[in-house]
Amino acid sequence: MKKVSVEKAFDKFKPESCVFVISIDKQSKPSGMIAGWNMKCSIRPPLFAVSLSKKCYTRRLIEQSKEFVIAVPNKKLEKSLLLFGSTHGNKVDKFTKSEIKTTKAKFVKSPLIKDATLNFECELFRKIASGDHIIFVGKILSTYVNEDQKILLNMKNDGNKRIFKEF
C-alpha cells in the first residue's frame, strides 16, 4: 500500500454512476451538467443529492429556480454526456448542440431526458456548503423508468479520456 493524493484516490474510486443534472434559467431555458458525485439519501421523504462545483453554471440555475431533474444515462446518451460534462451552459446551448430529446415533466419546469434510463423530478430540499462544492439535496416528486434500458458507468479515466460501460 502506498500513500497517494486525495485527487488520485478519488480518481481510482470507480466505477462511478454519473447523472445529468438539469435546471432552468429565469426564462425557463434549460441547461445542465454531469455529476458523478451523486447519491440516494432517503426514502421517506424520497431524497437524492448531488455535489456541484461552486464554479459551474448549473449550480446558479438550481439556486435561483429551486428545482432540478436527475436523468440517469445509458450508452445512447454517451456523446451528450461528454458534451454536458465538458462545456458551460452560459457559453454553450447544450440542449440545442446535443440534439438530445426531451419531454415535459409533471411538477417542475426543467425537462426530462426522453431516452434516459431513469428520470427524477426534484424540488430543492436543502443546500449544504461543502468546501469547493455545494451539495444540493432534492426531494423527488416523480420518477420515470425506461425498463429495457441499462445504466452507464464511468469505469476509469485513462489520461484525459473517460471510459464508460453499460450495466
Ligand X SMILES: Cc1cc2nc3c(=O)[nH]c(=O)nc-3n(C[C@H](O)[C@H](O)[C@H](O)COP(=O)(O)O)c2cc1C
Residues in touch with ligand X (CB under 6 A):
18, 31, 33-37, 51-53, 56-58, 85-89, 154, 162
Least gap, CB of 1 to ligand X (angstroms): 27
Q: Which is nearer to ligand X, 63 or 142 (CB)?
A: 63
Least gap, CB of 134 to ligand X (angstroms): 9
Q: Closest residue (Cβ) to ligand X?
A: 85
Q: Which is nearer to ligand X, 37 or 123 (CB)?
A: 37
**What CA–CA distance (Å, rounded) separates 65 from 42?**
22
Do the strands 47-53 and 38-42 form a parallel or antiparallel pair, or are they unpaired? antiparallel
Paired with 67 in beta bridges are 123
Give Dmax (Cα) for the chain: 52
Asked if 32 contacts 85 with a C-beta cutoff of 8 angstroms, the reply is no
Q: Which is nearer to ligand X, 55 or 106 (CB)?
A: 55
